[in-house]
Amino acid sequence: MAGLWDAVLRGEAAVRRAATAAVDTALLEGVLMRTEAEPNASDVVSYAPFTLLPSAVPSALFEQAYAVQQDFNVLVDAISQNKEFLERTLASTIKVDDFTARLFRIHLQVLEEGLAQSVFLGINRSDYMFDCGAPGVPALKQIEINTIAASFGGLASRTTAVHRRVLKVLGMSEEASRLLPNNPSEGLASGIAKAWELYGSRSAVVMFLVEQVQRNIFDQRCVENELWNRNIRVIRKRFRDVFEKGSLDDARRLFVDGQEVAVVYYREGYVPKNYDQQNWEARLLLERSRAVKCPDIATQLAGTKKVQQELSRPGMLEKLLPGRAEAIARIRATFAGLYSLDVGEEGDKIAATAIANPDRFVLKPQREGGGNNLYGEELRQVLEKIKDSPERTSYILMDKIQPQPATNYLLRAHSPLKASECISELGIFGVYVRQGKELVMNEVAGHLLRTKAVEHADGGVAAGVAVLDTPYLV
């Protein structure tokens, strides 16, 4: 796999020319991000960071990732409806992790009251790396599945055109024509539009719930644009707006600022720092409402790392997806080794193994958004410290995946042009809509490739570590 563009990478002048053309094409195509200096204004914007060249992806693994996505959609949806499974799986976590505990309390509270929502919309992104740890061909291994605020579907829809141009500038038109079309924006919007339609009020709006810092607004605008094109109104609001101007009527229809909301699309609410007391109250109001939440709180919980770890237990998928042996086999084939650190013999044993072999594992807390995992010496120290305390249950352990690095250039505003050894992570977007018990949409919406320099163990594009990329199938 390494060495796909070796000949190109030797020509320094050509690389410079291509990089200049690449940046202008990115701006032209709308691969945009607001600046760190002015994250909430669009007066001056820049390009979202991206690789100069597309990265090699084994076509068999790419196809495998597409082929399993509808199974993952069904699985996430099944978990979200399985109160008993969520309760049992998260029982140890919520004792020590306050954030998961608060989400879980809202989950129970809305179930107790009875769900007003009858249409459900899931937008998720299942992320993978290509593991070369074992001898033989690389294997597709899932890193995690994101069931809330899965981002970069918008900008990914515009990145292929940039790489197509770069390859042409470098004299590789044939290779340029091989880059696959990719339009997650359209796929995500069609799910939102379907949910909006089933909600059944033409005057109701779609509400994007957004964070305080909105550097990645253009990624969201790509999806928003698709909705306006279908004559669906979109508003952008914060939790605070919901707290101040949100209400439910007798039928628990949600109104914000006088407008009825059909669909709430969360691009916020996935980490503790998104919440103060008012925001928690706003979240509860939204969850109690009849509006379609993308995701509802149960689906957010289905995306926790503790759930991911429990799914890998023998027999668990069979319980959750009875009678679906083929789907189960496809899903299970993507699992890396995952281990519970719950108090007890099983947890003691794996903790000791990880302390003795820290480089074989990743230690993960129940957090999203990158930059939280522990590796190597740091993993050893932390685990040594917490190994005899219940605190360890707020983490899971996972086998460390070992991708094959490849050389590329990471283009970032104000950064010098230099080659880096890089690894990539492939994400596949899934979209589904359920009305009552019936799944009325189950789609794969496209892909996202993110690439980072090998020295960065952790972190995504929004965290400033990874950059956008395009798969070049080999």
* Residues classed as catalytic: 125, 144, 146, 151, 305, 364, 368-369, 450
CB of 28 to ligand ADP, least distance (A): 29
Using CB under 6 A as the binding rule, whether residue 468 contacts ligand ADP is answered as no
CA 142/CA 439 separation, integer angstroms: 24
Q: Does 401 bind ligand ADP (CB under 6 A)?
A: yes
Stretches 25-33, 60-68, 321-329, 369-377: which one binds ligand ADP (CB under 6 A)? 369-377
Q: Is 74 in the site for ligand ADP (CB under 6 A)?
A: no
> Residues 400, 420, 430, 462: which binds ligand ADP (CB under 6 A)?
400
Residue corresponding to tokens 């919901």? 242
Which residue number, 155 or 401, has a Cβ lying nearer to ligand ADP?
A: 401
Q: How far is the CB of 416 from ligand ADP (least distance, A)?
A: 24
* Torsional sign, CA 357, 358, 364, 369: negative
Q: Report the candidate in 208, 253, 205 with the shortest Cα–Cα distance to residue 230.
A: 205
Distance CA 343, CA 334 (A): 27
* Backbone dihedral angles phi then psi of residue 442, each to the nearest 5 degrees: -150, 100
Q: Which is nearer to ligand ADP, 39 or 370 (CB)?
A: 370
Q: Which is nearer to ligand ADP, 30 or 403 (CB)?
A: 403
**43 annotated ligand binder:** no
313 is in an annotated binding site: no
310 binds ligand ADP (CB under 6 A): no
* Identity at 194, one-letter amino acid code: K
Neighbours of 244 (CB within 10 A): 12
Ligand-binding annotation for 305, yes or no, is yes
Cα 301 to Cα 18, 103, 212, 420: the distances in Å are 44, 8, 23, 37
Are the CB atoms for 408 and 55 separated by under 8 Å?
yes
Q: Does 368 bind ligand ADP (CB under 6 A)?
A: yes
Residues in 414-443 that interact with ligand ADP by CB under 6 A: 425
DSSP states along 206-247: EEEE--SS-TTHHHHHHHHHHHHHTT--EEEE-HHHHHHHEE
Nearer to ligand ADP, 243 or 375 (CB): 375
Q: Which stretch binds ligand ADP (CB under 6 A): 188-196, 277-285, 396-404, 410-418?
A: 396-404
Is residue 469 a contact point for ligand ADP (CB under 6 A)?
A: no
In whole angstroms, give the CA distance from residue 167 to residue 53.
8
User: 189 vs 32, 237, 299, CA distance in Å?
Assistant: 19, 18, 19
**Does 215 appear as a known binding residue?**
yes
Check whether 154 is labelled as a binding-site residue.
no
Q: Does 144 bind ligand ADP (CB under 6 A)?
A: yes
362 in contact with ligand ADP (CB under 6 A): yes
Dig out the tokens for 149 from the structure: 């605020």
Does 398 contact ligand ADP by CB under 6 A?
A: yes
Residue nearest to ligand ADP (CB): 401
| Residue the block writes with tokens 């799986």 | 89
Contact 107, 300 (CB under 8 A): no
Under a CB-based contact definition with an 8 Å cutoff, are residues 188 and 153 in contact? yes
Any contact of residue 97 with ligand ADP (CB under 6 A)? no
Distance of CA 415 to the CA centre of its chain: 26
Which residue, 252 or 360, is less far from ligand ADP as judged by CB? Answer: 360
Q: Binding of ligand ADP at residue 370 (CB under 6 A)?
A: yes
Measured distance CA(412)–CA(50) in Å, rounded: 7
Backbone φ, ψ for residue 13 (5° rounding): -65, -40
Of 74, 143, 422, 448, which one interacts with ligand ADP (CB under 6 A)? 143
User: Minimum CB separation from ligand ADP for residue 457, in Å?
Assistant: 6
- Binding to ligand ADP by CB under 6 A, coded x per residue (else -) over 116-135, reads -----------x--------
Token pair recorded at residue 380: 């050893």
Q: Annotated binding residue at 369?
A: yes
- Residues of this chain that interact with ligand ADP (CB under 6 A) are 127, 143-144, 336, 362, 364, 367-370, 372-373, 398-401, 425, 458, 460
Which residues are part of a known binding site for substrate? 125, 148-151, 214-216, 220, 267-270, 450, 461-462
